[in-house]
Chain A
Amino acid sequence: MSFIELTAHQLAAQIKSKRVSCREVADEFLHHIEAVENDVKAFVTVLPEEARRRADALDRRVASGEDIGPLGGVPVGVKDLLCTRGIRTTCSSKILENFVPPYDAHVVERLTAEGAVIIGKLNMDEFAMGSSTENSAFFPTHNPWDLSRVPGGSSGGSTASVAAREVPLSLGSDTGGSIRQPAAYCGCVGIKPTYGLVSRYGLIAFASSLDQIGPIANTVQDAALLLQTIAGHDRRDSTSINRPLPDYLAALNGDIKGLRIGVPKEFYGQGVEGYVNDAVRVAVDKLCELGAEIVEVSMPTAEYGLAAYYIVAPSEASSNLARYDGVQYGLRVAEAGDDIVAMYSKTRAAGFGHEVQHRIMIGTHALSSGFYDAYYAKAQKVRTLIRQDFERAFEKCDVLATPTAPTVAFPIGEKSADPFAMKLADVCTIPVNMAGLPAISVPCGFHENLPMGLQLIGKVLDESTLLRAAHAYEQATEWHKQRPQLVKKLKD
């Protein structure tokens, strides 16, 4: 019997009804990880002993008749920028290579409370800066659909592990598209929640006004289950929203009659390939068949999103990453007689990769005396214009439908020499972060055997409508039932 094909929902139900133990599930996933990980390289750290110990403890609770929670016994992978107490958390950076956090992130506490088994820490672009996972200081992750291609990024380990069935669920983080773009490249479902819906406590910060943690899964239902687990108020994050949580699973009722879908034409230009536009338009037609209505909308300032983002995100990063200075965390590089500034500068030059240093310098310049108004303040105002564009669009519609990424996954190495070309991979996702809105990417077809994603963008805190529309679409199509050759081969 194979459990790796089951959804998290099905797994939890099997465990609950005692048809299988948490330990058996953990063992099978660990074996599968061993079988495919040499090819995929999704994990920075696999935790076989911890996972088995945890599964055994959960099994004892099941045996004594306890309800171990909605994720009881389900293996989950966690992006390696979420702090795990006593477990190395690297951010895929040399500067944190041996960092062992003394506390758990809020979302990790939530996973544990709901019965999940954390099976490993997932690879990413260093400090979440990148769109391909090639910026990991350790190794690139490979796309399970074509091992010569990138999985996307920065949460490339999170999406590759789910696509390769190494885990049924994972957590990623999304600052400019880092959940949705790799979800599209790997044929997964990925959600970037409303800014403030999920606590960032224990998330190693990149750009604090944009970062959000979100779920990655193979089905919309599983993504909703994981969102329900991690969402909600936490007083340790002062930007956390304190409102009652809806029941996201209850939203998946299949009924999208009369739902107004806005199609912003600006998102179908800007270097988006024709095959992506075609696939997304066919997906929108499918939503209409299911009862939705199309509304044409316009977002004239969306095209400024990328430029504003590359001021705001590096500025906040330059401040957040100032703490890695050779004093409190891991790496220190100094020679005898170095003063403290020399120690700081050598440590940071040795510990940060090129892209991280590049962005720190952009941000340092943008925030420096004499430039703040021209750059950071200007970009924060542009955010307001983008937000107002969305608000105007949402007067006419309930959900916006766009491509998630302008292309399918590109070959490893193709764009690493041109960081600017790489940045264009996030052109459709960045405006959403700038406005703080929720969005989901759901598989909408294949081009030359590589998956593509439909992005649905929602109103503030209206994750329920997004999930309902994405679920109705998914259930009316067959895309989510496709498997990468790598997984099929093992099954045969």
Chain B
Amino acid sequence: MGLTPAEIDHIALLARLELSAPERERAATELSQILGYFEKLKELNTDDVEPTEHVLPVVNVLRADVQRSGLAREAALQNAPEQADGMFQVPRVVEAE
């Protein structure tokens, strides 16, 4: 179950990982190997099986809709590589007209 170079590029783009040419080749080999291993699961019939998310029936955990304090803005920003005016700063997202 080999992956094509185009498929690897697509996965890397979705994952937001910039791969060098040798890394792309290594990824193709390693991902193909593990995807091949996953084929083993086809041996199991799971047609009428419910998925497991939690071992105990803990569902719809809600809290009262009352205000609670959160992190102060300075604390939330303290690890930001770049910030300005109390906000996280990122490269331009929208093109200027």
Contacts and interface: CB of A to CB of B under 8 A. Distances in A.
The interface residues of chain A, by DSSP majority, are classed as helix
A328 B56 contact: no
A420 B58 CA distance: 34
Contact of A460 (B44, B46, B55): B55
B59 to A, nearest CB: 10
A456 to B, nearest CB: 17
A381 B45 CA distance: 10
Nearest to A332: B81
A332 B91 CA distance: 11
B52 interface: yes
A238 interface: yes
A194 B91 contact: no
Interface in A431-455: 434-437
How large, as a class, is the contact surface on chain B?
Answer: 35 or more
A387 B51 CA distance: 11
A482 B19 CA distance: 48
Nearest to A237: B61
A102 B31 contact: no
A346 interface: yes
Interface in B1-49: 11-19, 23, 27, 30-31, 33-35, 37-38, 40-41, 43-44, 46, 49
A349 B38 CA distance: 26
A375 B14 CA distance: 17
B52 A387 contact: yes
Contact of B11 (A307, A311, A365, A437): A365
B34 A304 contact: no
Interface residues of A, number: 69
A364 to B, nearest CB: 4
B82 interface: yes
A352 B15 CA distance: 12
A318 to B, nearest CB: 7
Interface of A: 98-100, 102-103, 194-196, 209, 235, 238-239, 241, 301, 304, 307-308, 310-311, 318, 322, 325-332, 334, 338-346, 348-349, 352, 357-358, 360-362, 364-365, 368, 375, 377-385, 387, 419-420, 434-437, 460-461
Give the 10 A-B residue pairs with the shortest CB-CB distance, closest first: A436-B55, A380-B51, A332-B81, A102-B75, A381-B46, A383-B52, A345-B18, A238-B61, A364-B15, A349-B18
Interface of B: 11-19, 23, 27, 30-31, 33-35, 37-38, 40-41, 43-44, 46, 49-56, 58, 61, 63, 71, 75-76, 78-82, 88, 90-93
